[in-house]
Amino acid sequence: MSAPASQPTELRQSALACLLLADPASKVAAVHAMKAAWQAGSLQLDQQAGLVSRGAIPGRPVRPELVPPLAVGRRSMASNEGRAMLIHALSHIEFNAINLALDALWRFAAMPAEYYVDWLRVADEEASHFHMLSGHLQQLGYAYGDFSAHDSLWEMVDRTRDDVMARMALVPRTLEARGLDAIPPLRAKLAQAGDQAAAAILDIILRDEVGHVEIGNRWFSHECQQRGLALPATYAELAQRYRAPTPRGPFNIEARLRAGFSEEELQALSAAGSRQ
């Protein structure tokens, strides 16, 4: 007897099914179930399948309203609403991060099996991050969708949909790496405002994000090696071609080193940042 269409038995098909889900709670539960099914041996992996989506990507709720980045409101950390707006912004980043991990998992065929296992891990951890942040948001008296948000992260995911090398270069090792720099000062602000629970959540997210950026670095390097390309020059060319934002300091050097950036690359980043 074949399995129902709603329950794929192949990992990449399962990731696509999760990606199409619009309800955040359902997406989180489905991602955790997919990880458990993989670990139990209930899902197979077809690395060569050319999959096609039959729904709008990504699946997401009607709210939050998506606006330009500069139109997203900001409030003082001294108020409950201000802290809620920050937690909401972080929740939105993590919701997008679930989707980007799922997209990396299903979209790109003919990668080594370890690639798909890596992105399954990322999707599962991002789902946990969103669950923690959205739960904390509810404790503050708000819900995901109550504030506006922007879509810059997903815009780069969409731009790089045709090339796994560009995706690895410009999403995890560029946009997500910015989180390594941004989280420590945000954590300090929340802790100073007395929100120790939020600070503890950010400690978990920073720990995991180092691993996620390392995965992007590793697979970008893999693709450069496979194509006989020099990493620094290739990254610079991709950043220009896809209009990637220029990283701005101060940089979390220790976290970036653990995430696989070379000392030479970080010296160049720091030098460029000091000239801005």
88-109 residue pLDDT tens: 999 999 999 999 999 999 999 9
Task: Give pLDDT tens digits for 135-147.
Answer: 999 999 999 999 9
pTM of the predicted model, to two decimals? 0.94
Residue 246 CA, chain-centre distance (Å), reads 18
Domains in the chain: boundaries: 77-275
66 phi/psi in degrees, rounded to 5: -95, 125
Number of H helices, E strands in the chain: 11, 0
The fourth-level CATH superfamily of domain 77-275 is Ferritin, core subunit, four-helix bundle (1.20.1260.10)
Across 42-46, 52-56, 251-255, least confident range: 52-56
Distance CA 42, CA 160 (A): 31
Distances (CA, A) of 78 to 75, 84, 188, 192, 253: 8, 11, 13, 9, 29
Could you read off the pLDDT of 152-198 as tens digits, one per residue? 889 999 999 999 999 999 999 999 999 999 999 999 999 999 999 99
Q: Are 124 and 89 in contact (CB under 8 A)?
A: no
